[in-house]
């Protein structure tokens, strides 16, 4: 019977709310004998393998071709085709230089993008990698080892510590069974499992009689009845969410597409108007004159479209990615870099992100008072102080040392240093107790030498206790019973309490005080354990030990522990707030724990959290209002996380979602930028994310935001530069043709004469647009970036203020360039005496130098170009290299023939430089006027 039919056969309740016998009956399996091999094969054939569906990988050739979908790239390809066709008709050069150059730029951009994105995300494949390779099942009345893919609903799993659970299963037997579910539910400590039905509907994290596929058995052993496999399991449900999440475009991508479409329309309109005007005014007839007019159209297209823009953006993002990597932020998806800089919300997981995912003992309460322990995580560094920060002495120290001795001895974990990090092999709670003992100067090796363990009564979820029996090297006639467990349970087994060195009677009033102290610890979101002991004369017991020794105990104290916040996380939260970013916490952990951690980190003004159950009860309007205000969400599942992220996005937020678990993967993929943990994160979360934190440090997120803002600011700088420079080229060509007679240009027998040749325009775009624009992408970040609010999702990358500056600079550049053209030709408004080749070379040089002056302008729309003029050495190197390359075109004979240039004198260079510098001085005056009248644009670099 398929697992999906378990609740259809007259059973309306889920498996965790019913008895194991009832669930087995629904699945038609005998708990004593298990499935027969024949029945298992039949179910496998009917229900399919216990595996997650995977989308077929995209072929490499398709990934490569996808690089050519950009609107700008399509425009360039069209220009390439037209230029190549015209060259076939014209044959006016040895090679089609325009077509070759444009194709080379497009190919370079495609290769760079392909290399950056060739490792496409494969989160569903990573989920499969988490599955156990083999499973132990009870079939045909005997244990069998089978491939995990062959596990079917109705199989009885046999699990023990260290096993990966292959499928979702209902626990039928538990011997101290615990599983680590942090990757699935966000629960920071192992979860104890039992076989009893749960009376009410509950969240995934609270289904203590269920074990889930992909989680790890950390302690004990047991048996469980498989109820869901493959895509029907909780892991499969997450995989399904991942496949349904659409791929979102970033604001930068959307803006570049808009700019591309705008430029395309402008080019077509200008070309049509110009061609129609020339044909009518010049009375163009015949094929050759028509081809000359079409060449003009190509030249205008080349002038309008910034060929280097896609490649420069890719290169700048790549360099930014490398710079982020040096700050431990590894970006997987190149174009998502700028999104991080505009993030307005950081929706952070708690466990392993804001906290260390390492349990830490913070307080120990004994009869004489309370002590605090400093330090976080498993590093055995810290000190023990009293509540006033003083040294712990006297009876209090004796009691605390005795309590931590018990905790360290009734313990099966091992704390060791590996690859420079302290880690725990075993239960994290037990590891925390060992570290706490070390902080109290109790050496575990010395304790083990004195208190040699001879037997253990293991922990069970029913007893909620663990007891170990030890010899005492200092008293060979006695044994010592060390117990630890749930405070209410252990306290009921105690008859006395440790005060100093003596055991005194435990009164009812004192019991109430201890339980009150336990509640106070729990109120601060500390997980509590009690420890107790008693001495046993050897002659009193000579046989096997069992839980009957857990009586007449001496209560030693309470231990309070927590997965603590990272030390640097609080300042990171403050920096985020100063930058206008709203931090929120979304976790699967307990609400009390989440609320206390959030309040401690100043994410929330007071310790309170909204639970997943409360979210389920809200309609869409109430939900949207809650998400707009509430900073902390606890006991949420993947569906809740997705809904929260989407609600934030619908409200206009740019969401950066952080997480480390499998349960975070769908939200990571849906968020504007998903950020996974590199150390503690699962492979699933890393592959679903756009960025990975190599050091798992929340503070690195804020550093990455700063880098992202700097990258975006620099992208705006070179967009300002490229667009104004190319508009200057368009205006030069446009007005050069419209006012050809006034400027001294004449139509000769070979057709229409242009101010510049298409190859010259393309050379300017490739040489002056490329290196200087790339150098602008390396401009040092403005210190004020992190004091500005993030830009809105709806803000344009190229703002109206930027467009005004771009058009102004383009007009000035065209005017100064055409002035030099007129000056260099006989006739026109200004008398000259040069040849056409000389005049075009002077025009070519002036326009090129005007763009080099413009690159200094483009560093800000409001600050003077002389502010921090020499901070960017790369920019000056780019300017010098561009001048050198242009000089090569002007003076090297072979390049002179290719680009139709002639040598210039020093006087010529000075004239070109003086005319080109007008771009700088005019823009400085406009900025000065703007600053004077206070027309400052908020958030503008």
User: Residue 873 — very low, low, confident or very high, per pLDDT cuts 50/70/90?
Assistant: confident
Cα–Cα distance for residue pair 695/692, rounded to 1 Å = 9
- What is the overall mean pLDDT for the chain? 81
* Residue tagged active-site, from 292, 349, 696, 769: 349
Among candidates 553, 517, 549, 551, which has minimal Cα distance to 532?
553
Residue 251, exposed/middle/buried by CB under 10 A (0-12, 13-18, 19+)?
buried
CA distances from 731 to 165, 724, 726 (A): 69, 10, 9
Residue 480 has pLDDT above 90, yes or no: yes
Among candidates 572, 576, 577, 631, which has minimal Cα distance to 599?
631
Neighbours of 659 (CB within 10 A): 32
pLDDT at 569: 85
Beta carbons within 8 Å of 527's beta carbon, 6+ residues apart: 189, 359, 429, 560, 561, 562
How large is the angle between the packed helices 698-738 and 758-767, nearest 10 degrees? Answer: 160
Among candidates 162, 127, 196, 174, which has minimal Cα distance to 661?
127
The pTM of the full predicted model, rounded to 2 decimals, is 0.64
pLDDT at 298: 61
**In terms of pLDDT, which residue wins out, 426 or 152?**
152
Residue 42 has pLDDT above 90, yes or no: yes
User: Residue 664 — very low, low, confident or very high, per pLDDT cuts 50/70/90?
Assistant: confident
> Helix, strand, or coil here: 385?
strand
User: Residue 547 — very low, low, confident or very high, per pLDDT cuts 50/70/90?
Assistant: confident
Residue 156 has pLDDT above 80, yes or no: yes
How large is the angle between the packed helices 251-281 and 287-304, nearest 10 degrees? Answer: 150
pLDDT at 750: 45
User: Residue 126 — very low, low, confident or very high, per pLDDT cuts 50/70/90?
Assistant: very low
Element (H, E) at 104: helix 97-117
Over pLDDT 90: what percentage of the chain? 30
Cα–Cα distance for residue pair 778/765, rounded to 1 Å = 19
Cα 530-531-533 angle, rounded to 5 deg: 145
Q: pLDDT for 187-208, tens place per residue?
A: 667 888 998 999 888 888 889 9
Residue 902, exposed/middle/buried by CB under 10 A (0-12, 13-18, 19+)?
middle
Neighbours of 204 (CB within 10 A): 22
Among candidates 105, 58, 89, 116, which has minimal Cα distance to 325?
116
Active site residue 616: no
Q: Are 323 and 122 in contact (CB under 8 A)?
A: no
Residue 925, exposed/middle/buried by CB under 10 A (0-12, 13-18, 19+)?
exposed
Torsion of CA 164, 169, 175, 181, to 10 degrees: 50
pLDDT at 484: 95
Q: pLDDT for 274-313, tens place per residue?
A: 677 666 666 666 555 665 666 566 656 656 666 556 666 7
Residue 529 has pLDDT above 60, yes or no: yes
Provide the residue count of the chain. 941
What is the end-to-end Cα distance of the chain in Å, rounded? 65
Q: pLDDT for 696-746, tens place per residue?
A: 777 788 888 888 888 888 888 888 888 888 888 888 888 887 787 788 776
pLDDT at 24: 92
Q: Are 338 and 251 in contact (CB under 8 A)?
A: yes
Q: pLDDT for 665-676, tens place per residue?
A: 777 888 888 888
pLDDT at 102: 62
Cα–Cα distance for residue pair 261/273, rounded to 1 Å = 18
Q: Which residues of 443-474 are buried (b: 16+ CB within 10 A; e: fewer)?
A: ebeebeeebebeeebbbbbebebbbbbbbeee
Name, of 12-26, 253-267, 304-318, 496-510, the range with top average pLDDT. 496-510
pLDDT at 872: 85
User: Residue 937 — very low, low, confident or very high, per pLDDT cuts 50/70/90?
Assistant: very low
Among candidates 535, 531, 534, 528, which has minimal Cα distance to 557?
531
Q: Which residues of 815-848 are buried (b: 16+ CB within 10 A; e: fewer)?
A: bbbbbbbbbbbeebeeebebeeebbbbbbbbbbb
Q: pLDDT for 591-613, tens place per residue?
A: 888 888 898 889 988 878 899 88
Residue 543, exposed/middle/buried by CB under 10 A (0-12, 13-18, 19+)?
exposed
Q: pLDDT for 419-434, tens place per residue?
A: 778 888 888 889 999 9
Strands 655-659, 345-348: pairing is parallel
> Helix, strand, or coil here: 913?
helix
pLDDT at 564: 85
Q: Which segment of 172-181, 332-341, 506-515, 763-772 scores lowest on mean pLDDT?
A: 332-341
Residue 132 has pLDDT above 60, yes or no: no
Q: Are 630 and 587 in contact (CB under 8 A)?
A: no
């Amino acid at each position: 019977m398929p697992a999906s039919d378990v609740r259809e056969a007259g059973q309306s309740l889920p498996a965790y709310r019913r008895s194991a016998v009832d669930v087995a009956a629904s699945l038609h399996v005998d708990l004593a004998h298990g499935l027969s091999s024949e029945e298992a094969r039949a179910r496998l054939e009917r229900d399919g393998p216990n595996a997650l569906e995977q989308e077929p990988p995209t072929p490499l050739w398709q990934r490569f071709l996808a690089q050519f979908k950009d609107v700008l790239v399509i425009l360039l390809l069209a220009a390439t085709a037209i230029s190549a066709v015209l060259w076939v008709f014209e044959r006016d050069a040895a090679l089609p230089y325009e077509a070759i150059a444009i194709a080379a730029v497009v190919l370079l951009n495609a290769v760079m993008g392909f290399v950056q994105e060739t490792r496409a995300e494969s989160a569903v494949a990573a989920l499969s990698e988490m599955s156990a390779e083999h499973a132990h099942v009870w079939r045909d009345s005997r244990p069998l080892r089978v491939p995990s893919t062959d596990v079917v609903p109705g199989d009885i799993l046999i699990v023990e510590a260290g096993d990966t659970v292959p499928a979702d299963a209902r626990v039928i037997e538990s011997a101290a069974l615990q599983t680590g579910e942090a990757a699935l539910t966000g629960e920071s400590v192992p979860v104890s499992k039992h076989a009893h039905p749960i009376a009410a509907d509950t969240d995934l994290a609270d289904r203590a009689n269920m074990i889930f596929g992909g989680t790890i058995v950390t302690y004990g052993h047991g048996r469980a009845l498989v109820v869901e496999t493959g895509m029907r399991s909780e892991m499969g449900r997450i995989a399904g969410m991942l496949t349904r999440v659409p791929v979102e475009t970033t604001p930068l991508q959307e803006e570049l597409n808009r700019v591309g479409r705008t430029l395309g329309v402008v080019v077509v309109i200008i070309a049509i108007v110009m061609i129609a005007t020339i044909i009518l005014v010049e009375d163009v007839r015949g094929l050759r004159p028509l081809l000359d007019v079409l060449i003009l159209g190509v030249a205008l297209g080349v002038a309008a479209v910034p060929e280097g823009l896609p490649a420069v953006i890719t290169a700048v993002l790549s360099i930014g990615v490398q710079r982020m990597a040096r700050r431990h932020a590894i970006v997987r998806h190149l174009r998502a870099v700028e999104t991080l800089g505009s993030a307005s919300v950081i929706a952070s997981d708690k466990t392993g992100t804001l906290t260390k995912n390492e349990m830490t003992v913070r307080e120990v309460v004994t009869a004489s008072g309370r002590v605090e322990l400093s330090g976080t995580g498993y590093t055995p560094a810290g000190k023990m102080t009293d509540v006033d920060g003083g040294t712990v002495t006297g009876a209090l120290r004796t009691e605390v040392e005795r309590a931590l001795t018990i905790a360290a001895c009734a313990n099966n974990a091992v704390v060791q240093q590996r690859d420079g990090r302290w880690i725990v092999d075993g239960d994290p709670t037990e590891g925390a107790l060992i570290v706490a003992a070390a902080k109290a100067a109790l050496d575990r090796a010395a304790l083990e030498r004195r208190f040699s363990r001879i037997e253990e009564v293991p922990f069970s979820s029913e007893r909620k206790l663990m007891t170990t029996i030890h010899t005492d090297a200092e008293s060979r006639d006695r044994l010592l019973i060390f117990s630890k467990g749930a405070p209410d349970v252990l306290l009921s087994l105690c008859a006395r309490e440790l005060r100093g060195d003596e055991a005194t009677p435990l009164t009812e009033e004192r019991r109430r005080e201890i339980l009150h102290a336990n509640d106070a610890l729990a109120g601060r979101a500390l997980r509590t354990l009690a420890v107790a002991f008693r001495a046993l004369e050897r002659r009193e017991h000579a046989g096997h030990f069992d839980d009957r020794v857990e009586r007449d105990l001496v209560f030693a104290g309470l231990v309070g522990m927590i997965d603590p916040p990272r030390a640097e996380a609080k300042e990171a939260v403050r920096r985020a707030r100063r930058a206008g970013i709203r931090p929120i916490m979304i976790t699967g952990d307990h609400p009390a724990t989440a609320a206390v951690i959030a309040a401690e980190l100043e994410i929330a003004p007071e310790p309170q959290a909204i639970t997943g159950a409360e979210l389920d009860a809200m309609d869409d309007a109430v939900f949207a209002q809650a998400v707009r205000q509430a900073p902390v969400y606890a006991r949420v599942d993947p569906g809740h996380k997705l809904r929260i992220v989407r609600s934030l996005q619908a409200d206009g937020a740019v969401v950066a979602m952080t997480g480390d678990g499998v349960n975070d993967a769908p939200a990571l993929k849906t968020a504007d930028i998903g950020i996974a943990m590199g150390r503690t994160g699962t492979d699933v979360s890393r592959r679903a994310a756009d960025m990975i934190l190599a050091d798992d440090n929340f503070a690195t997120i804020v550093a990455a935001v700063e880098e992202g803002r700097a990258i975006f600011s620099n992208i705006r700088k070179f967009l300002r530069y490229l667009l104004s420079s190319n508009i200057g080229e368009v205006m030069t060509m446009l007005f050069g043709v419209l006012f050809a007679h006034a400027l001294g240009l004449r139509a000769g027998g070979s057709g229409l004469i242009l101010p510049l040749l298409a190859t010259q325009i393309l050379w300017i775009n490739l040489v002056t647009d490329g290196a200087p624009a790339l150098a602008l992408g390396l401009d040092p970040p403005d210190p004020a970036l992190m004091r500005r609010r993030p830009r809105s999702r709806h803000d344009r990358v190229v703002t109206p203020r930027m467009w005004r500056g771009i058009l102004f600079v383009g007009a000035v550049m065209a005017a100064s360039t055409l002035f030099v053209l007129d000056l260099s030709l006989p006739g026109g408004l200004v008398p000259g005496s040069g040849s056409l080749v000389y005049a075009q070379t002077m025009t070519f040089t002036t326009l090129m130098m005007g763009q080099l002056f413009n690159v200094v302008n483009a560093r800000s729309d409001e600050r003077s170009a002389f502010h921090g003029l020499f901070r960017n050495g790369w920019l000056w190197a780019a300017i010098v290299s561009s001048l050198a390359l242009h000089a090569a075109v002007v003076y090297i004979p072979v390049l002179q023939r290719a680009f139709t240039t002639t040598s210039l004198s020093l006087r010529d260079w000075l004239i070109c430089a003086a005319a080109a510098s007008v771009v700088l001085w005019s823009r400085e005056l406009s900025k000065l006027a703007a600053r004077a009248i206070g027309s400052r644009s908020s958030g503008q670099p």
